Amino acid sequence: MTSRLVLASASPFRRALLENAGLKFDVEPAQIDERAVEEPLGDLTPEDVASVLAEAKAQDVSSRNPGAIIIGSDQTLSLAGEIYHKAANMDEARRRLLALSGRTHELNSAVTLVKDGETIWRHMSVARMTMRDLDPAFIGRHLSNVGGKALSSVGAYQFEGEGIQLFERIDGDYFTIIGLPLLPLLAKLRALGAIDG
């Protein structure tokens, strides 16, 4: 490997994806206020917001890691053009699941590579997620079962866990849903000579 890799994320799920792929990398979460970065963006699409945030995270970590390739990633959830963020509490998580019930939302997953402050690659993948019609009582029982895990994702569900029971159809790949488009990322890292291949 010619360059050190650094994941600019605190997400245990993104970290696990890279570890499971056999990559050697360091982890340094970005120190940015995502809502402050997002506020002046105006009417950007949910995909563009995810891309801007992924790049902001990578740029922040790059400033402290000269010579390293920084992997920045972000995911937005959009429903009818509106962007949703992680629920702040269980009541908000309940309202989120009620809003998503019986509808199709999009998970927009962006990944960016930055080296020495220069953005060298960007990629966006979108997954379309159709929830089944959910009974409010079931939502309450589901949230009681999963507890605080519901607050760790933008959709208030853990797709890789019990959250899979909420869905009737998925159009998109697993890695995009988890929040890191892994296959395009690995291909680019190979092309850069940053990983073996």
By the 8 A CB rule, do 111 and 184 touch?
yes
Q: Which residues in 100-129 are b (16+ Cβ under 10 Å) and which e?
A: bbeeebbbbbbbbbbbeeebebbbbbbbeb
Distance, first Cα to last Cα, the chain = 10
For residue 74, indicate whether it is catalytic.
yes
Residue 40's contacts (CB-CB under 8 Å, 6 or more residues apart) are: none
Closest CA to 17 of 192, 191, 181: 181
The alpha carbon of residue 158 and the mean position of all alpha carbons in its chain are separated, in whole angstroms, by 12
Catalytic residue among 74, 116, 135, 196: 74
Active site residues: 74
